[in-house]
Amino acid sequence: MRRLFEPTDLEIEEPGLVEVDVQMGVVRGRQPWRLSVPDFEVDVGLFGGLELDLDGAFSWEGRDDGTFKLDHWDDDNLWVSLKTSLLSWDDPLAQRGLGLGVQVGPKCPTARGARGFGMEGLLLLAWHSPRVQLVLNGGGLWDPNDGGNGRPLGFEGGVDLEIPLDAAGHFSLLGEAGGVAFASADAAQFSMTAGLAWDVREDLQLSLVALAGFLEGSDRYGLLLGVSPKLALFRRKP
């Protein structure tokens, strides 16, 4: 299994704050069905505008003949990264701003059959206003050896979009488009997602997202339920 590239945002958690973003659902790959249990991201606010991110996935997968019979477990390599903002500009009166950041770190060989460590890095350009939050992603990956085609090497890019639907910001439209062009002997990926998010509280968001893939290396389609709570590990001193 090679999980699709998912564009990310430039939100940096406050020190001591942890956000857990979990997506669970059914996905149809090029051949097998897959039950995501789950696809996860864990963001830990450190200090000085620095965030530690853990990004991985577990799934219960079916056979390559396309029958819906889930009979084995599979997982993805774990990306351990640091994310920080390099520069930012904000206009408080217009409630809009621009930011530039970076996310980079090693890929750990946790997938079945993987060997050796890899690396992944992204440059993030973000724009926000009362009407839209837009983040452009660009970077590359050099994954652990997968035992088949060697070390996957590719260039990745995409966009992450959020559009508030009400003044209070309780509901919003979500959208992503991203892909990978491989320099190694791996099939190119391009997929899009669209869905709806509900901020139940300041520390809890629920979402429902549909996925569609368009290239040989992409999953064909899927439906995912997201749960994103925020937890405080410790309180900042005043």
In a domain, 9, yes or no: no
Residue 128 lies in a domain: yes
**Among 174, 181, 98, 79, residue whose Cα is nearest residue 138:** 181
Q: What is the pLDDT of residues 11-65, one digit of tens each?
A: 999 999 999 999 999 998 887 888 887 899 999 999 889 999 999 998 888 777 6
Q: What is the pLDDT at residue 134?
A: 97
Domain contains 189? yes
Task: Confirm whether 82 is domain-assigned.
Answer: yes
Let me know if residue 84 belongs to a domain.
yes
Domains: count for the chain: 1
Question: What tokens were used for 58?
Answer: 């577990």
pLDDT at 152 over 70: yes
**Between these two residues, 23 and 150, which has the higher pLDDT value?**
23
Q: Is residue 117 part of a domain?
A: yes
Q: What's 27's domain CATH number?
A: 2.40.160.40
Is the model's pLDDT at 68 over the cut of 80?
no
The tens digit of pLDDT for each residue in 165-176 reads 998 889 999 999
237 domain residue, yes or no? no
Q: What is the pLDDT of residues 183-211, one digit of tens each?
A: 998 899 999 999 999 999 999 999 999 99
Beta bridge partners of 48: none
Pairwise pLDDT comparison (67 vs 224), residue with the higher score: 224
- pTM here? 0.91
Burial environment of residue 148 by CB neighbours within 10 A (0 to 12, 13 to 18, 19 or more): exposed
104 occurs within a structural domain: yes
Side-chain half-sphere CA neighbours of 81 within 13 A: 26
Domain carrying residue 145: 17-232
